[in-house]
């Protein structure tokens, strides 16, 4: 203050400069290739100093027309495309799509198949949350979390590779079953993974949960109220972080989720820290589910044997039996035969509710297939939450929303 009195000219200059800057807003384009936009999201921002006055997400850089493609191919051929939606959890996407088509066909899959799907979906959830956690840590400056979580994901990838033949885009689920039964000894190795993962997870989370820098960056940042979260159609950990106890695995159980005991973690404030805590706890619950699935792993068939016009018969049958050969030929050329009708199925994926809306006119090709992607809905709240926050908090917010552009743009 004293300096202002003794140098009135300077005070006037400062005031002038402040006024000049106050009137001028800067527009800044962040992305589409920016490390903290986790893919190809572009944020068209309007800044007043360091404070955002407007934020307009620009999406579509990864639009591949999956829905158009789906209308032009048979139901089975679309399975690999579902891998590329949320590419961090392809096994969960495969399952959601398969169940949607099975509901359309009115098909029930055997208990063993359901258990395999739940098991793989929960492993995919752990893998997706680990990546989300690592990337979130990286966004707020905690590099070592990413290294720890990538290490654990590598263990999971090895298990996926053994089960499906692929590490990343697995295409494991088929309509009416899965591609193959679990390999011998594989379930034991999954248990082995869980045994080493649980302490490792605690160690990884302990790097962040009580970390002063992390708390400063995340607590009370990017608050999404429960009412807003519901109004914008948020799902998954982002909705639960805001205090809504909604989990489709509990509320509308599918694939036998009602048999397993697990808790649904819920946040209280809806800030970035709550969303982080929810994801951390969900991983613990997923491991709990994995252990239960393996403990009562049912025997029997791993594909629906009665689904003759839907699930291709085993290869040895195709090569030896005329009827199976014809059957296989028809499924490959005409596609699995579906009745006419409409069906909408949502599964609780790592990122939220992944929905498939299928309109069928009968035959092997859908008339319309709409993918309701959780990342798309979760990102639509950005203009609302970003307004008035600091630009450095946008990075934190994006990390905590944990989106995947492959799914958002489809």
- Site residues, other proteins (CB under 8 A): 59-60, 63, 65, 67-69, 71-74, 77, 103-104, 106, 230-234, 244, 246, 251-252, 333-335, 339, 341-346, 353, 355, 357, 359, 365, 367-368, 370, 372, 376-377, 379-381, 384, 409-410
- Least distance CB 55 / other proteins (angstroms): 13
Q: How far apart are CA 373 and CA 357, in angstroms?
A: 11
Cβ-based nearer residue to other proteins, 305 or 368? 368
- Least distance CB 129 / other proteins (angstroms): 22
Cβ-based nearer residue to other proteins, 104 or 145? 104
224, two tokens: 């999404």
**CA-CA-CA-CA torsion for 231, 233, 238, 239, nearest 10 degrees?**
60
Of 375, 396, 376, 374, the closest CA to residue 385 belongs to 396
122, two tokens: 């929960």
Cβ-based nearer residue to other proteins, 194 or 338? 338
Instruction: Determine which helix (DSSP H) or strand (DSSP E) holds 48, and give its type and residue range.
Output: strand 42-48
330, two tokens: 């028809």
- Least distance CB 50 / other proteins (angstroms): 26
- Least distance CB 355 / other proteins (angstroms): 6
Q: How far apart are CA 99 and CA 291, in angstroms?
A: 23
Cβ-based nearer residue to other proteins, 6 or 333? 333
Backbone angles phi, psi at 369, to 5 degrees: -130, 115
- Least distance CB 372 / other proteins (angstroms): 4
Cβ-based nearer residue to other proteins, 189 or 370? 370
- Least distance CB 87 / other proteins (angstroms): 18
Cβ-based nearer residue to other proteins, 14 or 340? 340
- Residues 6+ positions from 138 with CB-CB distance below 8 Å: 145, 146, 399
The answer to whether the CB of 121 falls within 8 A of the CB of 107 is no
Of 244, 247, 243, the closest CA to residue 262 belongs to 247
For tokens 């088929």, what's the residue? 174
- Least distance CB 347 / other proteins (angstroms): 12
Cβ-based nearer residue to other proteins, 104 or 398? 104
Q: How far apart are CA 7 and CA 65, in angstroms?
A: 64
């Amino acid at each position: 203050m004293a300096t202002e009195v003794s140098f009135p000219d300077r005070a006037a200059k400062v005031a002038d400069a402040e006024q000049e800057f106050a009137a001028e807003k800067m527009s800044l384009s962040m992305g589409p290739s920016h490390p903290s936009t986790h893919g190809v999201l572009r944020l068209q921002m309007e800044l007043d100093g360091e404070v955002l006055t407007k934020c307009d997400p620009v999406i579509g850089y990864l639009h591949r027309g999956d829905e158009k493609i789906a209308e032009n191919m048979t139901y089975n051929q679309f399975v690999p495309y579902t891998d590329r939606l949320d590419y961090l959890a392809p096994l969960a996407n495969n399952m959601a799509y398969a169940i949607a088509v099975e509901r359309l066909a009115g098909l029930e899959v055997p208990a063993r198949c359901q258990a395999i799907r739940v098991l793989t979906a929960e492993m995919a959830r752990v893998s997706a949350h680990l990546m989300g956690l690592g990337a979130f840590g990286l966004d707020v400056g905690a590099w070592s979390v990413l290294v720890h979580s990538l290490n654990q994901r590598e263990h999971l990838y090895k298990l996926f590779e053994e089960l499906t033949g692929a590490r990343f885009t697995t295409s494991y689920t088929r309509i009416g079953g899965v591609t193959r039964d679990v390999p011998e000894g594989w379930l034991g190795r999954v248990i082995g993974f869980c045994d080493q993962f649980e302490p490792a997870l605690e160690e990884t989370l302990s790097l962040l949960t009580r970390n002063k820098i992390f708390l400063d960056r995340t607590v009370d940042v990017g608050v999404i109220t429960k009412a807003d979260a519901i109004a914008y159609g948020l799902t998954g950990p982002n909705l639960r972080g805001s205090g809504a106890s909604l989990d489709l695995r509990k509320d509308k159980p599918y694939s036998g989720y009602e048999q397993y005991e697990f808790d649904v973690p819920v946040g209280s404030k809806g800030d970035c820290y709550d969303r982080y805590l929810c994801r951390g706890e969900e991983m613990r619950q997923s491991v709990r589910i994995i252990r239960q699935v393996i403990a009562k792993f049912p025997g029997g068939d791993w594909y629906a044997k009665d689904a003759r016009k839907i699930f291709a018969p085993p290869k040895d049958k195709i090569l030896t039996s005329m009827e199976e050969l014809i059957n296989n030929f028809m499924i490959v050329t005409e596609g699995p035969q579906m009745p006419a009708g409409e069906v909408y199925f949502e599964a609780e994926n790592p990122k939220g509710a992944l929905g498939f809306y299928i309109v069928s006119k009968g035959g092997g090709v859908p008339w319309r297939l709409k993918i309701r992607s959780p990342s798309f809905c979760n990102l639509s709240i950005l203009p609302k939450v970003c307004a008035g926050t600091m630009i450095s908090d946008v990075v934190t917010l994006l990390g905590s929303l944990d989106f995947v552009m492959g799914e958002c743009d489809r």
